[in-house]
Structure 1
């Protein structure tokens, strides 16, 4: 009970403090981001610090972290779906196909290759770690593309690109993660058959179909109820929260990918629901997501494997640096050429801000539970901690720098009487 009270006062106090100082944190680039602050609080209160909090009091630490990450991801991908324009994927079908298919595979192979080259692990274990750190995290991406600073300095097409990619590839990464998991568990032939018929067709394909059907149905019912004044405001504002949890849990009970189903359901709900109601629901969704984000990062800080990191030596640092620099930036520059032209500055910004966070924590805890290899948690937690730190510290200054240079180019183009180059290849149709 004492640990519960410590958790309540520390996490609640941090949430209040960071909420009151949110504008200051965004405006002062030298102050840490909210995920950094929450992770640091976990380190201070955990076994490596004051030794006041332990995840083991709630159960097996990685199992606790898995469920916290799963719930947070469900809320995050729903928030991402509500943040997008109603027909975003249809209007940008080619761009999103390129980013989510060959782009996702390229990031997986680069990450897996770095793990294989730097750590003394078998190929399929390296590919598993690479798959785990591949998806762009919707929680950390959300902290970059939302808020006054983001709306002021980041063009809407780039914000939408990061939001759409982070929401979709969280669920699609399920395919990449479970291919090496199945290969490590079974013979190659059985693993391939299980991946094709169970993972691809049911766990991913059924998730898309179920999410689309449920999302469209709930969105249509919400619109009809709203038009006929059958909804109370308090009921209206809780729809997407309850909807997120219901789809996440229900689809998981069916043995399918609940996270992907929630994102697809959010897209279809966004398409059919009343536009004026969606704005209010989005604000509530973002607020509840914020309440879940702090605890999961505190829990991450409590579980950091410091001794295992030190045991990796220089290869651990090289792995973190290599993945942050090579996993995503080359992919954006290469595959953007197959869509529309985009200036190098826009590609550089979109390529850099593909953070690794809660999605990786979810997948690594699942993989660790199934495979039991400690290197999975050691390597992934190191990369996630590095991403939280580096992307958190660079988000505000690089966002402002990007916005100022974009505005300067627009002003120069206007003065010269020329048209500025497109800001992004992924603009809304």
Structure 2
């Protein structure tokens, strides 16, 4: 099954997966078994260890294929995140979001690195690399947590917007933390630091931000100009935002910059230019496209689980996955709570601390790092942590959202508001 026929088999299976998930989508939205987890399980079943219907190795380098696929899914998802955040939110909350994304990421990176180093006994810089890969909150896996009727009924906007903004911003920022150990491993320390400061920080991060902001601003202005002259058909609005996602991803890669940061910056700038009404309409369409692309990536993750690598990790791998879920994020949010006005109580901090899923962004960065270093341990560890996070956050999303709404009184207040 090699060549065109094999590619068609993959397209057929992934398309069929989305069709199957669409049919019971309302039930899955309210159930403790989310669509992302179903996609992961189905991916495992059709993978090489079971039914052997999909094996990315048949199409070429598996890490490169996963890297490219995850990059595309991230690009589309990040513009959707930007459209979801109210226009005034970044201006009104920039101080606490800077603290959450900046100091929060550093602390989570340090904790993740220490856990990997102590539990697995890997070298410091390899531990730092893997720790950086699993640090950022994933915008794709976070979307079902903060969207839909269950989230809107039980979670206040300040919590949903905080998760959305952080998951969008820290994916691009994590590039800094990932490439420092990656450069140290591949170059001499002096040359690595020089390249990290001059190229990674100045061009791949700051340059990417500036380029993305400019791209989104120009795209937004052009859309407004075309609309003032009644040139844009209604159905082209969705096409426009999806095209902006692809334009930003491709252009970011072509200029050899951090394309993840380019996409989010472009989406954030685009939102500042368009009207609130347009933002709401385009968010719905972008979210639909986001889901269409996101479920296949979880299925592909299931097909590429390194079972032998997991068995070699043994109990240390299980211990690490549990430790990362419990210690990487909740303690950091409790520590930062006094400085984050959006978190009124410890319940807020614990909820935000628990729901920092690790998923598509980690797939992208792990595939990139494995491809560059030819080190299978990276994918063994990261894929295990990703799957643990998808299961833990996915299964607990609906029950904990409902529990939060009940114990904080938000759901009751929202129901009274709806009655009025």
TM-score range, shorter chain: over 0.9
What residue in structure 1 maps to residue 382 of structure 2?
380
- Deviation sequence 1:142-169 (CA, Å, 0-9, x none): 0110111111111111000000000000
How far, CA to CA, are the matches of 1:61 and 1:103 in structure 2? 32
Q: Unmatched 5+ residue regions in structure 2? A: none
What residue in structure 2 maps to residue 111 of structure 1?
112
What residue in structure 1 maps to residue 302 of structure 2?
301
What residue in structure 2 maps to residue 69 of structure 1?
70
1:242 maps to 2:277: no
Deviation at 1:408, TM superposition (A): 7.1
- Deviation sequence 1:322-351 (CA, Å, 0-9, x none): 000011101111112123362111111111
What residue in structure 2 maps to residue 404 of structure 1?
406
What residue in structure 2 maps to residue 19 of structure 1?
22
Deviation at 1:15, TM superposition (A): 1.3
Deviation at 1:297, TM superposition (A): 1.0
Contact 2:17–2:296 (CA under 8 A) maintained in structure 1: no
Q: Unmatched 5+ residue regions in structure 1? A: 415-429
Contact 1:153–1:399 (CA under 8 A) maintained in structure 2: yes
How far, CA to CA, are the matches of 1:183 and 1:75 in structure 2? 31
| Counterpart pick for 1:343 among 328, 345, 348 | 345
1:219 maps to 2:220: yes
Question: Deviation above 6 Å: which 4+ runs of structure 1?
Answer: 408-411
How far, CA to CA, are the matches of 1:223 and 1:387 in structure 2? 40
Contact 1:222–1:274 (CA under 8 A) maintained in structure 2: no
Report the TM-score when normalising by structure 2: 0.95
Aligned length: 410
Report the TM-score when normalising by structure 1: 0.93
- Deviation sequence 1:173-206 (CA, Å, 0-9, x none): 0000000001101111111111111000000000
What residue in structure 1 maps to residue 177 of structure 2?
176
What residue in structure 1 maps to residue 287 of structure 2?
286
What residue in structure 2 maps to residue 322 of structure 1?
323
Deviation at 1:55, TM superposition (A): 0.7
How far, CA to CA, are the matches of 1:129 and 1:400 in structure 2? 33
1:135 maps to 2:136: yes
What residue in structure 2 maps to residue 389 of structure 1?
391
How far, CA to CA, are the matches of 1:135 and 1:84 in structure 2? 18
Deviation at 1:236, TM superposition (A): 2.1
CA RMSD, aligned part only? 1.5
Higher mean alpha-carbon deviation, 89-98 vs 129-138, is at 89-98
Contact 2:176–2:205 (CA under 8 A) maintained in structure 1: yes
- Deviation sequence 1:81-103 (CA, Å, 0-9, x none): 00001122111011011111111
How far, CA to CA, are the matches of 1:293 and 1:193 in structure 2? 37
How far, CA to CA, are the matches of 2:398 and 2:67 in structure 1? 29
User: In structure 2, do the counterparts of structure 1 residues 311 and 197 end up closer, same or farther at CA, with 3 Å as the change threshold?
Assistant: same
How far, CA to CA, are the matches of 1:376 and 1:206 in structure 2? 28
What residue in structure 1 maps to residue 368 of structure 2?
366
Contact 2:337–2:346 (CA under 8 A) maintained in structure 1: no
What residue in structure 2 maps to residue 166 of structure 1?
167
